[in-house]
Amino acid sequence: MVKIAPSLLSADFREMGREIERMAQAGADYLHYDVMDGTFVPNITFGSVVLEWAAKCSLPVDAHLMVEHPETHIETYAAAGAKIITVHAEAARHLNRVLRRIRELGCLAGVAINPATSPEVLRYSVGEFDLALVMTVNPGFGGQKLIVKALDKLSEIRNMLDADGVDALLQVDGGANEKTVGLMLEKGANFIVAGSALFGSENPRALIDLAREKWLALHPEQK
Among 70, 81, 188, 195, binds ligand DX5 (CB under 6 A): 195
Amino acid identity of 78?
A
Distance, in Å, from the CA atom of 194 to the CA atom of 86, rounded to the nearest integer, reads 16
CB 159, CB 122: distance < 8 Å? no
111 binds, among Zn ion, ligand DX5, none (CB under 5 to 8 A by kind): none
Binding partner of residue 168 among ligand DX5, Zn ion, none, CB under 5 to 8 Å per kind? none
User: Looking at 70, 110, 139, 188, which residue binds ligand DX5 (CB under 6 A)?
Assistant: 139
Q: Closest separation between CB of residue 207 and ligand DX5, Å?
A: 10
204 counts as binding ligand DX5 under rule CB under 6 A: no
Q: Is 164 considered catalytic here?
A: no
- CA atoms of 24 and 17, how far apart (whole Å): 11
Angstrom distance (rounded) from CA 30 to CA 60: 5
Residues 161, 165: Cα–Cα separation, whole Å: 6
Told to check if 37 binds Zn ion by CB under 5 A, we report no
Of the candidates 22, 64, 101, 153, which one interacts with Zn ion according to CB under 5 A?
A: 64
Cβ count within 10 A of residue 24: 14
Among 113, 60, 54, which residue's Cα sits nearest to residue 87?
113
| Residues in touch with ligand DX5 (CB under 6 A) | 7, 9-10, 32, 34, 64, 137, 139-144, 173-176, 193-197
* Positions marked catalytic: 34, 173
